[in-house]
Amino acid sequence: MGIYDDFLKNNESLFKNEYALDYNFVPKIVPYREAQQRYLASCIRPLLADHSGRNVLIHGPPGVGKTAALKHLIKELEESDELYDKLEIIYVNCWHKNTTYKIALEICDIIGYAFVQNKNTEDLFKIIEQIINKKAAIFIFDEIDKSEDTDFLYILAENILRKSIFLVTNYKSWIHELDDRIRSRLLLEQIEFPQYNYDEMLGILKQRVEYAFYEGCFSEEELKIIASKASELKDIRIGLFLLKESALIAEEKSSRKVSLEHVQSAIRKIDQFTIKNTDELDDESKAILKIIKDNSGKKIGDLYRIYEKAGGKISYKTFQRKISKLDEGKFISLERTYSGGNTTIVNKKLTEY
Ligand SMILES: Nc1ncnc2c1ncn2[C@@H]1O[C@H](COP(=O)(O)OP(=O)(O)O)[C@@H](O)[C@H]1O
Ligand SMILES: [Mg+2]
């Protein structure tokens, strides 16, 4: 059989909808997050009775469904006839829009105001205020810790009459960096999205398999192995990656089903980029890891000084790179703080949530 015959055979894809494995895909339901969604819905309910809503800091480690749950909530609100005319929904990702001015432009875009040219931040917020104050509003600022300033929060807190503001972050400690003036105006409540356990990860992956693949591609056994790996590495995204990767491997082998062997090959790919065993670290990284263990919770600059004093020779840049590698390998965890500019705090193991 020629190579093209193989290609033809491969045309029979295992994937029904590959996009369902994308990290941005919003599933129809977001299981294990019902309580959080109910709570958030209760925070915006007063808006419908012409009262002000509650403001919330939503926190939890990466990949625990914070964005997915909020996007889902937004979808439900948008689909509800009762709310449609009453509520302006503003979702901004502060990774992409990371200054008050950029956020003002984004809000204008969302509410359909186009004449933004030659207007400064103050002008823009005046207009935003006029338009939004005809209704009630819910503001969601995802990845709020990536924003370079938080003036917009003060402006919204002061000038928007009926609103709920949701701030989303992977770092609970971010709240301490928030200006007192803003904090006292927002009176933020807090809700945590905890890490998923093995059973929850398995449940999420099973749901995703139904969206993404034709029936019978994965058996329970393979899914369990993938869920174990994801739960070992505390990251559902690893699970999504493994589903896709092992199915691609199966297709390459012209197989109609994903086998144990395909899953194992996919797992080997992950092991290449997650170091687990300190034996695999170079000597310099081992020395740095020891310093971190003895000085957990210090800023990266301070650690570098300790390292230099102990006779370390590599440059600060290389030092930072090695610290990032240790973070990727999950030997340590990094935490950003904001006292006088961004700094990184290095902790000896994963931040416990
Ligand atoms: N409870 C869940 N049900 C279904 N998919 C989920 C769930 N939690 C997370 N996911 C999926 O995992 C990935 C990461 O979730 P995400 O909401 O982006 O995490 P976070 O915003 O907390 O970092 C996304 O693809 C998301 O769809
Ligand atoms: Mg997110």
- CATH architecture, domain defined by 34-192: 3-Layer(aba) Sandwich (3.40)
Residues 195, 353 contacting (CB under 8 angstroms) = yes
For ligand 1, say whether the CB of 68 is within 6 Å of any of its atoms. Answer: yes
How does residue 350 score in pLDDT terms, banded at 50, 70 and 90? very low
Q: Whose CA is nearest to atom 14 of ligand 1?
A: 63
CA distance 71 to 33: 12
What's at 26, amino acid-wise? V
Residues 337, 345 contacting (CB under 8 angstroms) = yes
CA distance 57 to 191: 6
Least confident of 1-5, 46-50, 69-73: 1-5
Is the per-residue pLDDT at 151 higher than 90? yes
Is the per-residue pLDDT at 345 higher than 90? no
For ligand 1, say whether the CB of 23 is within 6 Å of any of its atoms. Answer: yes
Is the per-residue pLDDT at 28 higher than 90? no
Q: Whose CA is nearest to atom 19 of ligand 1?
A: 63
Q: What is the pLDDT of residues 109-137, one digit of tens each?
A: 999 999 999 999 999 999 999 999 999 99
Annotated domain spans of the chain: 3-21+196-273, 34-192, 278-347
Question: Distance, CA 96 to ligand 2 centroid (Å)?
Answer: 12
Question: What pLDDT does residue 8 have?
Answer: 43
For ligand 1, say whether the CB of 196 is within 6 Å of any of its atoms. Answer: no
Of 25, 111, 106, which is closest to residue 72 (Cα–Cα)?
A: 25
Q: Whose CA is nearest to atom 20 of ligand 1?
A: 63
Of 270, 286, 259, which is closest to residue 237 (Cα–Cα)?
A: 270
Is the per-residue pLDDT at 168 higher than 50? yes
Percent of the residues in the chain that have a pLDDT greater than 90, as a whole number = 67
**Of the segments 73-77, 85-89, 155-159, which one has the largest average pLDDT value?**
155-159
For ligand 1, say whether the CB of 353 is within 6 Å of any of its atoms. Answer: no
Sign of CA dihedral 57, 58, 59, 62: negative
| Overall average pLDDT of the 45-64 stretch | 93
Can you name the CATH fold of 3-21+196-273? Helicase, Ruva Protein; domain 3 (1.10.8)
Q: How many CB atoms lie within 10 A of CB 218?
A: 25
Ligand nearest to the CA of 91: 2
Of 128, 188, 121, 119, which is closest to residue 160 (Cα–Cα)?
A: 128
The atom number, within ligand 1, closest to the CA of 64 reads 22
Ligand nearest to the CA of 64: 1
Of 204, 18, 168, 4, which is closest to residue 95 (Cα–Cα)?
A: 168
Residues 226, 246 contacting (CB under 8 angstroms) = yes
- CATH architecture, domain defined by 278-347: Orthogonal Bundle (1.10)
Question: Distance, CA 63 to ligand 1 centroid (Å)?
Answer: 5
- Between β-strands 298-299 and 333-337, what pairing exists: parallel, antiparallel or unpaired? unpaired
> What is the reported pTM?
0.79
Of 5, 20, 10, 7, which is closest to residue 212 (Cα–Cα)?
A: 20
For ligand 1, say whether the CB of 236 is within 6 Å of any of its atoms. Answer: yes
